[in-house]
């Protein structure tokens, strides 16, 4: 499943990011803790260069703690710090300012040496659609300056936000990249970063069952009361449908209904915390 999708506003956003990097001290990149690799935009990676960066592993409560900790160990280096957060509840966000101060300590010290005691820290917020950028900014600003939506592509224009932590944040629209390989496409679709409208949702649900069967079979059995678990993902999906009453006239499975239900429950963590990606090598970046 390869997807080619690069709307015009995403091209514009890429140019804006590049043009505005000189205005900020650091970049805050938000990723989905469940799909840390797939929610890394290689376009952003190229644009940022050696700019100091904080990676927020957002929705960390939806992922397995042990996996998220492993990602943190792999991703951190001299120019990058990693924080586990939840931008909806605010969990972990109190560590952001100290992390930025640590990351920028040499620059802040140079300012103090020049007599500038109070240095405003400016940071650009970047990330793919639907990873929680607007929720993060709203929580930091303690109001609803930025628009929030559960659909990709809600934020469209650049905007500066002052926070009560004395930070200035430059918001940018979420951007995807021109081509996705199959695994990345599926991970983005599973978590809602790609609009359901452009996917075959029934096939997507089938692939999710297939994926969860490898590492989270017990979660599926427990959540849906499955008495038998098959090697065939389609059979498992059909059994889930019957257990949940997703049946149409004649006793046939309502595949669309069970697909919507399954994806909603996965995205809402009704099966418990699930990580779809593990770090494989050092320095994932």
Q: pLDDT tens, 115-133?
A: 887 888 999 999 888 888 8
What is the phi/psi pair of residue 253, to 5°?
-70, 135
- How many Å apart are CA 281 and CA 283, to the nearest integer? 6
- Is 174 annotated in some ligand binding site? yes
- Is 134 annotated in some ligand binding site? yes
- Is 185 annotated in some ligand binding site? no
- Is 218 annotated in some ligand binding site? no
- Is 8 annotated in some ligand binding site? no
- How many Å apart are CA 106 and CA 285, to the nearest integer? 23
**What confidence tens digit (pLDDT) does each residue in 38-49 have?**
999 887 878 888
Percentage of residues in the chain having pLDDT higher than 90: 58
Give one DSSP letter per residue of the chain, joined into a string.
--EE---HHHHHHHHHHHHHGGG-SEEEEEEEGGGTTTT--HHHHHHHTT--EEEEEESGGGS-HHHHHHHHHHH-BTTEEEEE-BTTTTBTGGGHHHHHHHHTHHHHHHHHHTT--S--EEEEEEE-TTSSHHHHHHHHHTS--S---SSTT---S-EEEE-TTSEEEEE------SEE-HHHHHHHHHHTSS-GGGS-HHHHHHHHHHHHHHH-HHHHHHHHT-S---S-HHHHHHHHHHHTT-B-TTS-B-HHHHHHHHHHHHHTTTT----S----SS---
- Residue 28, token pair as written in the block: 């805050």
What's the chain's Rg over C-alpha atoms?
21
- How many Å apart are CA 72 and CA 51, to the nearest integer? 18
Average pLDDT, the chain: 86
- Is 272 annotated in some ligand binding site? no
- Is 138 annotated in some ligand binding site? no
Boundaries of every domain in the chain = 3-179, 200-267
- Residue 236, token pair as written in the block: 């498992």
Q: What pLDDT score does 181 carry? A: 79
Q: Which CATH class is domain 3-179?
A: alpha beta
- How many Å apart are CA 79 and CA 203, to the nearest integer? 40
Q: What pLDDT score does 241 carry? A: 97
**What confidence tens digit (pLDDT) does each residue in 219-239 have?**
999 999 999 899 999 999 999
- Is 125 annotated in some ligand binding site? no
- Band of pLDDT at residue 284, cut at 50, 70 and 90: very low
15 versus 176: which is more confidently predicted?
15
User: Does residue 223 contact residue 166 with C-beta atoms inside 8 Å?
Assistant: no
The CATH number of the structural domain formed by 200-267 is: 1.10.1580.10
What is the mean pLDDT of the segment spanning 156-171?
Answer: 79
Q: What is the pTM of this model?
A: 0.86
- Is 132 annotated in some ligand binding site? yes
Tell whether the model's pLDDT for residue 6 goes beyond 80. Answer: no
User: Does residue 240 contact residue 220 with C-beta atoms inside 8 Å?
Assistant: yes
- How many Å apart are CA 244 and CA 264, to the nearest integer? 14
- Is 236 annotated in some ligand binding site? no
- Band of pLDDT at residue 157, cut at 50, 70 and 90: low
- Is 58 annotated in some ligand binding site? yes
Q: What pLDDT score does 222 carry? A: 96
Q: What pLDDT score does 266 carry? A: 97
- How many Å apart are CA 93 and CA 117, to the nearest integer? 24
User: Does residue 123 contact residue 168 with C-beta atoms inside 8 Å?
Assistant: yes
């Amino acid at each position: 499943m390869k997807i080619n999708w690069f709307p015009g506003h995403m091209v514009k956003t890429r140019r804006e990011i590049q043009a505005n990097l000189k205005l900020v001290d650091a970049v805050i990149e938000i990723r989905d803790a469940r799909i840390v690799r797939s929610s890394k935009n290689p376009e952003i990676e190229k644009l940022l260069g050696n700019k100091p960066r904080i990676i927020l592993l957002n929705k960390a409560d939806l992922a397995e703690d042990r996996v998220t900790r492993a990602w943190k160990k792999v991703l951190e280096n001299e120019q990058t710090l990693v924080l586990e957060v939840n931008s909806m509840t605010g969990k972990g966000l109190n560590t952001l300012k100290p992390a930025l101060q640590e990351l920028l300590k040499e620059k802040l010290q140079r300012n103090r040496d020049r007599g500038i005691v109070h240095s405003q820290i400016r940071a650009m917020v970047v990330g793919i659609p639907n990873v929680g950028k607007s929720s993060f900014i709203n929580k930091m600003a303690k109001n609803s300056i930025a628009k929030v939506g559960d659909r990709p592509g809600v934020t469209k224009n650049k905007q500066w936000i002052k926070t009560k932590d004395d930070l200035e944040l430059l918001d940018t629209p979420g951007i995807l990249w021109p081509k996705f390989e199959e695994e990345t496409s599926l991970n983005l679709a599973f978590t809602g970063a790609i609009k359901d409208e452009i996917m075959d949702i029934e096939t997507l649900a089938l692939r999710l069952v297939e994926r969860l069967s490898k590492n989270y079979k017990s979660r599926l059995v427990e959540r849906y009361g499955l008495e038998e678990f098959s090697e065939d993902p389609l059979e498992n999906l059909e059994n889930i449908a019957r257990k949940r009453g997703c049946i149409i006239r004649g006793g046939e499975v309502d595949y669309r209904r069970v697909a919507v239900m399954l994806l909603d429950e996965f995205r809402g963590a009704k099966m418990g915390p699930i990580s779809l990606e593990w770090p494989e090598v050092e320095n994932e970046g």
